[in-house]
Amino acid sequence: MANQDFNALGRAGTVADQATFDAGLRAHMIRVYNYMASGLALSGIVAFGLFSVPQLASIFFQVTAEGYVAGLTMLGWVAIFAPLGLLLLVSFRAATMSVGSVQAVYWAVTALMGVSLSILLFTYTGASVARTFFVTAAAFGALSLYGYTTRRDLSAMGKFLFMGVIGLILAMLVNMIWPSGTMSFVISAAGVLIFSGLIAYDTQKIKDQYAAAWGTDTAEKVAIFGALSLYLDFVNLFQFLMMFLGQRR
């Protein structure tokens, strides 16, 4: 059910009601983007902190004398995989979790993601990381705007993209066992295309979720879940673009 508006929900569609709904939707999207931007800022602070303070980095990474990450400590492995566990927890208990609990999970996920992202700072030059971040931000803005404004129903594309993510994960696992430069390039290109599509799809889905939650007490949780979706889309697009645009140290 894409591009719902107040009238499509079968409520009394007066002009005043529609205006109230539209104003609420705009406020909701701003709340989503604010959550997302704050999450990215937290991830960036954690990543830069680990990169700048060797004592902190040594908790999670085995760092060589030249400043490269040679491996992960036990706590590093926990930090890398903990976001996945938290996301699974949220997916199973979303309906019963309080707003405070959902917020705590969101900030925990974004902070832990900073540990993973710090590896990029150890691997690529600061200039190329900054340049790729701004390219990602520009692409995100254009794709999210398309998802917000388009009248086209993107739900069918969402199913295709979900299958693409599953295939991408399997391909990455295979490439870890049998590394291939060609396969790495294909995975990177596919990742950029898939997460570019997901940005538009998830933006439209957030609009639909707001329409379903309009007038209820679940709007704040819906905003956080929407921000989490866009945050993950942004981070994944950024990481795949780094494979193309990043300059190694």
pLDDT tens for 158-169 read 888 999 999 998
Q: How far is CA 242 from CA 3, 39, 123, in A?
A: 33, 20, 10
pLDDT band at 14 (very low <50, low <70, confident <90, very high): low
Q: Domains of the chain: which residue ranges?
A: 7-245
Rounded distance between C-alpha atoms, residue 78 and residue 162, angstroms: 26
Average pLDDT over residues 5-33: 68
pLDDT tens digit string along 97-149? Answer: 888 999 999 999 999 999 999 999 999 999 999 999 999 999 999 999 999 99
